[in-house]
A and B are shown apart, each in its own frame.
Chain A
Amino acid sequence: MTTTDIHALVGAYALDAVDDLERAAFERHILACDGCRGEVDELRETASRLADSTWSVPPPQLRTDVLAAIGRTRQLPPGESARPEPDARAAVSRWRRYTAGAAAACILATGAGAATWAVQEQRVRAKNTAVAAAELREARTQAILAAPDLVVRTAPMIGGGRVTVASSAQQAASVVSLRAERAPATDRAFQLWTIRDVAAPAPVDAGLLAPGEASAAQIVEGVPGNEVFAVSEEPAGGSPQPTQVVAQVLLT
């Protein structure tokens, strides 16, 4: 590949749209070419912004699994360079591809296979229950979001982030989405409230998030007819009344 060719790969490289060999060649190239190195940093930063629109609530189990996994995972020390040797990376990537099937076959062939299978079976059962619950919620969510009288309101959270309340009076419910940039401490939790009458306020508990949880999307029944929807930060078990309000959405 000529040098002219390789400069031209900068966009495709930033989008991960090159093959392993081109990736390795380009990474070797930017060690020597400051122009491409500066440009690729900017274009990669730009490409990452495309992820802004891909927000999706991960399954709660993922948090448990990841936090357990890091407890078992040794960290790398600071290095000269974050980039592995280009050739090594390409080789590893190719190796991984060719051996993935072989590795799976190995596991099944050994005694560990039975244990692995049992664990997976259990996961499948747990998943089926979760899937059934998710399907019910999905049907309800779609009914609310598809309601002809849907009104969507949103407000910023103190400390960054946003609460969105999509309400349908016909469905007598709302879909509430909360995404805080600042997670509460692990012994604190966000609590949701409805307030019928601002003139004579008596906040009613509308749900409690898991401790330390920064984002959630859930159905809250009976929101329409209230004047305010509020979010507060409370001790992990929740409070009878809001003590530290972090967001309010006016509903009228």
Chain B
Amino acid sequence: MTERGAARRPDHLSAVPDAPPGPATDIGDLVRAVARGDEPAFARLYDLVSPRVYGLIRRVLRDPAQAEEVAQEVLVEVWRTAARFDAARGSATSWIFTIAHRRAVDRVRSEQASSDRTMKVGVASVETPYDEVVDEVAGRLERRQVRHCLDDLTELQRQAVTLAYYQGHSYREVAELLKTPLPTVKTRMRDGLIRLRDCLGVEVTS
């Protein structure tokens, strides 16, 4: 698989503009516009982030119907609280995914409280959603960096980070699942994230 598309461009299709069309679509700019009540800006923001917001929530909850419900809550929350986004504490993208992840985890925990999660997971895992198959192909390139960096962690770091992030487990549950003492799990979550941060080159300039 190569990026040959850009290399050889047939002449008849040269109606390509030098500058990209449409208004700016930096996610941070969009969130600032949304904070001023700009609904078209919100629609553009929706198109940019909703596949990852929905995908993340579905990954954690595993039930497409519930994921849709929680994704709606999250995206409306982004609209409602856009004015509270603080660029000094991180990127707009991260702000949005933090809201999404927390909501998904809250839902998982309240499901556990009502003790029907196992059943729901059992039902949901039978189907193979259509777009999951497509994503498998489409997402390969984008995933490569994250995958590569996850592979760079120790087994325990990787397990601790992914069980918490992708499955919504608390560090106590992770400790139980991995048969590892609590302080060790806390430490592996922290140093695992630090190693990921360095591998991905993440920076917050405040």
Residues of A whose CB lies within 8 Å of any CB of B are: 8-12, 14-19, 38, 41-59, 61-63, 65-67, 69-71, 73-79, 81-82, 93, 96-97, 100-101, 134, 137-138, 141-142, 145, 152-156, 158-160, 162-164, 166, 175, 177, 179, 181-186, 188, 195, 198, 201, 203, 212-215, 217, 228, 230, 233, 242-250
| Smallest Cβ-Cβ distance to B102: which chain A residue | A16
**CB distance B186 to A12 under 8 Å?**
yes
Query: Could you list 17 A-B pairs, sorted by A, with CB under 8 Å?
Result: A10-B190, A19-B170, A43-B197, A46-B200, A50-B165, A66-B50, A66-B75, A73-B79, A78-B84, A100-B114, A152-B1, A154-B5, A183-B22, A186-B43, A217-B138, A244-B17, A245-B13
| CA A243 to CA B71, docked complex, whole Å | 35
Contact call A138/B130, Cβ cutoff below 8 A: yes
* Interface: B154 (CB within 8 A): no
Are A62 and B52 closer than 8 Å at their CB atoms?
no
- In the bound complex, how far is the Cα of B94 from the Cα of A197, in angstroms? 44
Give every chain B residue within 8 A of A158 (Cβ-Cβ): 16-17, 20
The answer to whether B174 touches A17 (Cβ under 8 A) is yes
Q: Which residues of A contact B117 (CB under 8 A)?
A: none
A58 and B131 CA atoms in complex are apart in Å by 9
* B residues less than 8 Å from A101 (CB atoms): 114
The smallest beta-carbon distance between A66 and chain B, in angstroms, is: 5
Given A41-B90, A54-B56, check contact A182 B20 (CB 8 Å).
yes
**B188 (CB) vs chain A CBs: closest residue:** A11
Assess the A42–B137 pair: CB atoms within 8 A.
no
Are B72's CB and A69's CB within 8 A? yes
The residue among B46, B82, B174 with the most chain A CB atoms within 10 A of its own CB is B46
With both chains docked as a complex, state the minimum distance between the C-beta of B105 and any C-beta of chain A, in angstroms. Answer: 4
Q: State A160–B26 Cα separation when bound (angstroms).
A: 11
A252 to B50 Cα, complex, angstroms: 33
Q: Could you tell me if A183 and B72 are in contact, using CB atoms closer than 8 angstroms?
A: no
A75 and B83: CB pair below 8 A? yes
Question: Inside 8 A of A55's CB, which chain B residues have their CB?
Answer: 51-52, 55, 135, 138-139, 142
Q: Which of B5, B71, B139 has the most CB of A within 10 A?
A: B5
Query: A73–B105 contact, CB under 8 A?
Result: no
- Of chain A, the residue at the smallest CB distance from B36 is A75
Smallest CB separation, A203 vs chain B (Å): 8
**Interchain nearest-CB distance for A63 vs B (Å):** 6
Instruction: Return chain B residues, CB-CB under 8 Å to A93.
Output: 106
Q: How far is the CA of A195 from the CA of B20 in the complex (A)?
A: 23
Q: Quick check: is B180 within 8 A (CB to CB) of the other chain?
A: no
Query: Does the CB pair B84–A182 fall under 8 Å?
Result: no
Are A46 and B202 in contact, CB atoms less than 8 angstroms apart? Answer: yes
Judging by beta carbons under 8 Å apart, are A49 and B146 in contact?
A: yes
- Let me know if B206 and A38 touch, CB within 8 A: yes
Interface residues of B in 79-130 (CB under 8 A from A): 79-86, 89-91, 93-94, 97-98, 100-102, 105-106, 109-110, 113-114, 128-130
Q: How far, in angstroms, from A201 to B105 measured CA to CA in the complex?
A: 52
Q: Is the CB of A242 within 8 A of B20?
A: no
Q: For residue A49, which residues in chain B have a CB less than 8 angstroms away from its CB?
A: 146, 196, 200, 202
Known: A93-B106, A243-B15, A250-B4. A70 touches B76 (CB 8 A): yes
Against A, the Cβ 8 Å flags (1 = close, 0 = not) of B50-63 are 11111110110000
The 10 closest A-B pairs by CB, nearest first: A155-B5, A11-B190, A159-B20, A56-B55, A11-B189, A177-B138, A214-B47, A82-B84, A58-B54, A183-B47
Which residues of chain B are near A63, meaning CB under 8 Å? 46-47, 50
Contact between B186 and A8, CB atoms less than 8 A apart? yes
Beyond A41-B204, A42-B202, A48-B91: 16 further Cβ-contacts under 8 Å? A11-B189, A12-B164, A41-B90, A50-B166, A56-B55, A63-B46, A69-B72, A79-B83, A159-B20, A160-B20, A162-B142, A181-B25, A183-B44, A215-B47, A248-B9, A249-B5
Pairwise interchain contact B131-A248, C-beta atoms closer than 8 A: no
